[in-house]
A and B are shown apart, each in its own frame.
Chain A
């Protein structure tokens, strides 16, 4: 009974959703956010962020491929998970995961990336040699028509796919929020704002991640960083972050003012067990600091090098903040008793199936997949800007 204060129902003492379930909304959030950034270029015609367009798509894909893995590792019987497709339970929010995931993976991301890269894939399937040639050949899916008319059709279809992709990205992550927000038994989760907060925090983490990746990869390639691009990305990050922060504050203020039967218990938890991860990491380090930093850039005229450093710092802090938010939702929601009379402690294991090591591996895995994808489908061709510009106006 160590780690228990007050009274927990006896079945509540050990947490059943571990750090892997923290990782899952964090990863899907990065996917949704990265895709929204890509859609800024395609749908909303924000040309300044065009250099991040393809990188954002590949980032979204890399993280989306990894997204179900923490869930699989967590399941008691992962071999039975296909049942979610064969016999889904229509009233379960979780049952819809498989379908939303498949739709988003195949109908939106993979299709859009394929359309976007088809021209290059066909060219590469002719110019490369050996195994690579075979890979590109397979990736063409037998469609090697790159006539101007065919490419124009690609652009049009790709625009439509992105248009469908925006609500899909919202559904993908909104649904993750709904999984938690719809649990009436748990007052820490139960809130209609949960899906909305999840969507906005997803955009914040995804945009910040792509911004960081863009800066790192550009430095790696020893090329100058496109300042209008990162400035615009940071501006969007700042404004979306303000909305995200406002929503979270609204939820907080509502809880404090309403002070229902769970408030005393939850308030105590925030001031004790969750103090470090909620107040220090999420609020001060991961939210207020980056908002102030990004805000300073908006209202002052700082030299480029200072702005870049601010973006790097803010981008990293955002990741800490959003990861902490996921942690506080998932772990925090299990630390108090549903009797509101006590608290338990989360003891993270290290090298077990659901331990820290698995979490670290799953965090690094998307970056490895991204490296392979970037190698296979370079997101920075010389003519990328012209290409995207042409694609942004398909109706013409």
Chain B
């Protein structure tokens, strides 16, 4: 191949860009895992949640979540008969240590675990200026923390408040659906540690997953459906007052 100086100079910048990808290497091998075979989601069964905070603690321990930030948290709603659209909500330290005893008997109380909704049309992915956050082929929204600028635009764009800037890494951080576990055939840390089975990891591409039967027979909703984000965390018996 004959390359003169002119062509060499033209190719140099392209080679420099390509070299970057060579240096980046290949993703960690998971020989038995094929991304295109899965479409992950999560089922949260609200009547089953007892607000113990096990999921929050398990998530923090499993993923080394910094204090004051949450990949998952639990909210306690108190909805009174006379003001159904303005519930009283608390989540002390993300519900990590459970909740105080209820003071008022009127109205209804229930717990709502929250986490990244792993939206199919995720606004956070749309706004990322460098594509550091992306929807993986198996439906999990991930952040490449070696690439993220830390501009926090994605944090602003998430309608559910699921993202934060990691105080030490200075990059966007969020629930990965315990990607390091689910690609090895395990379930998420939060689901694993839920004593009542209120959280269940689901694979919508698996025809044998019980989620299919569940969705057919229950009143299931996603958070803020008006946002049209394609949220994939399904809530059973979600109250209309939940935001």
CB pairs A–B below 8 angstroms (8 shown) = A11-B162, A16-B152, A80-B130, A80-B148, A183-B127, A337-B161, A338-B159, A339-B89
Q: Which of B153, B156, B163 contacts A92 (CB 8 A)?
A: B153
Q: Which of B88, B149, B227 has the most CB of A within 10 A?
A: B149
B129 CB to nearest A CB, Å: 4
A109 CB to nearest B CB, Å: 23
Cα–Cα distance between A230 and B36 once the two chains are bound (Å): 66
Interface contact A81-B165, CB-CB below 8 Å:
no
Q: Which of B69, B149, B163, B170 contacts A83 (CB 8 A)?
A: B149
Q: Which partner residue on chain B sits nearest A7 by CB separation? A: B89
Interface residues of B in 155-182 (CB under 8 A from A): 155-165, 169-171
Evaluate whether A338 and B161 lie within 8 angstroms (CB atoms) in the complex, with A16-B155, A95-B130, A184-B227 already known.
Answer: yes
Q: Which of A9, A13, A74, A91 has the most CB of B within 10 A?
A: A9
Q: Which partner residue on chain A sits nearest B16 by CB separation? A: A86
B114 CB to nearest A CB, Å: 7
Evaluate whether A93 and B156 lie within 8 angstroms (CB atoms) in the complex, with A76-B171, A77-B170 already known.
Answer: no
- Answer yes or no: A340 CB below 8 A from chain B CBs: yes
Q: Which of A83, A179, A185 contacts B227 (CB 8 A)?
A: A185
Interface contact B161-A92, CB-CB below 8 Å:
no
Cα–Cα distance between A92 and B165 once the two chains are bound (Å): 19
- Answer yes or no: A251 CB below 8 A from chain B CBs: no
Interface contact A84-B156, CB-CB below 8 Å:
no
- Answer yes or no: B243 CB below 8 A from chain A CBs: yes
Per-residue CB contact flags for chain A residues 1-24 toward chain B (1 = under 8 Å, else 0) read: 000000111111110110000000
Which residues from chain A contact B164 at a C-beta distance below 8 Å?
Answer: 11, 16
Interface residues of A in 61-92 (CB under 8 A from B): 71, 74-78, 80-81, 83-84, 86-89, 91-92
Interface residues of B in 69-95 (CB under 8 A from A): 69-70, 73, 75, 86-91, 93-94
Chain A contact residue count (CB 8 A cutoff): 42
Which residues from chain B contact A17 at a C-beta distance below 8 Å?
Answer: 152, 156
Cα–Cα distance between A248 and B94 once the two chains are bound (Å): 38
- Answer yes or no: B147 CB below 8 A from chain A CBs: yes
Interface contact A76-B91, CB-CB below 8 Å:
no
- Answer yes or no: B186 CB below 8 A from chain A CBs: no
Interface contact A10-B91, CB-CB below 8 Å:
yes
Cα–Cα distance between A93 and B87 once the two chains are bound (Å): 35
Which residues from chain B contact A9 at a C-beta distance below 8 Å?
Answer: 73, 91, 114, 160-161
Q: Which partner residue on chain A sits nearest B164 by CB separation? A: A11
Cα–Cα distance between A16 and B166 once the two chains are bound (Å): 11
Which residues from chain A contact B131 at a C-beta distance below 8 Å?
Answer: 87, 89, 92
Interface residues of A (CB under 8 A from B): 7-14, 16-17, 71, 74-78, 80-81, 83-84, 86-89, 91-95, 97, 179, 183-186, 333-334, 337-341
Q: Which partner residue on chain A sits nearest B21 by CB separation? A: A87
Cα–Cα distance between A388 and B165 once the two chains are bound (Å): 51
Cα–Cα distance between A83 and B171 once the two chains are bound (Å): 15
Interface residues of B (CB under 8 A from A): 17, 20, 68-70, 73, 75, 86-91, 93-94, 114, 123, 126-131, 147-153, 155-165, 169-171, 227, 243
B84 CB to nearest A CB, Å: 13
Q: Which of A78, A83, A86, A186 contacts B156 (CB 8 A)?
A: A186
Which residues from chain A contact B75 at a C-beta distance below 8 Å?
Answer: 7
A253 CB to nearest B CB, Å: 23
Which residues from chain A contact B129 at a C-beta distance below 8 Å?
Answer: 84, 88-89, 92, 94-95, 97
Which residues from chain B contact A337 at a C-beta distance below 8 Å?
Answer: 161
B163 CB to nearest A CB, Å: 7
Cα–Cα distance between A92 and B171 once the two chains are bound (Å): 17
Interface contact A10-B94, CB-CB below 8 Å:
yes
Which residues from chain A contact B130 at a C-beta distance below 8 Å?
Answer: 80, 83-84, 87-89, 92, 95
Interface contact B70-A11, CB-CB below 8 Å:
yes
Cα–Cα distance between A369 and B38 once the two chains are bound (Å): 56
Evaluate whether A81 and B149 lie within 8 angstroms (CB atoms) in the complex, with A7-B89, A87-B130 already known.
Answer: yes
Interface contact B147-A83, CB-CB below 8 Å:
yes
Cα–Cα distance between A7 and B162 once the two chains are bound (Å): 15
Interface contact A77-B150, CB-CB below 8 Å:
yes
Q: Which 8 A-B pairs have the closest CB atoms?
A: A76-B150, A76-B170, A9-B161, A185-B159, A89-B131, A95-B129, A339-B243, A7-B89
Interface contact A75-B159, CB-CB below 8 Å:
no
Interface contact B73-A10, CB-CB below 8 Å:
yes
Q: Which of B147, B151, B157 contacts A185 (CB 8 A)?
A: B157
Interface contact A183-B148, CB-CB below 8 Å:
no
Q: Which of B20, B151, B160, B243 has the most CB of A within 10 A?
A: B151
Which residues from chain A contact B159 at a C-beta distance below 8 Å?
Answer: 184-185, 338
Evaluate whether A12 and B156 lie within 8 angstroms (CB atoms) in the complex, with A76-B148, A87-B131, A340-B243 already known.
Answer: no
Q: Which partner residue on chain A sits nearest B166 by CB separation? A: A76
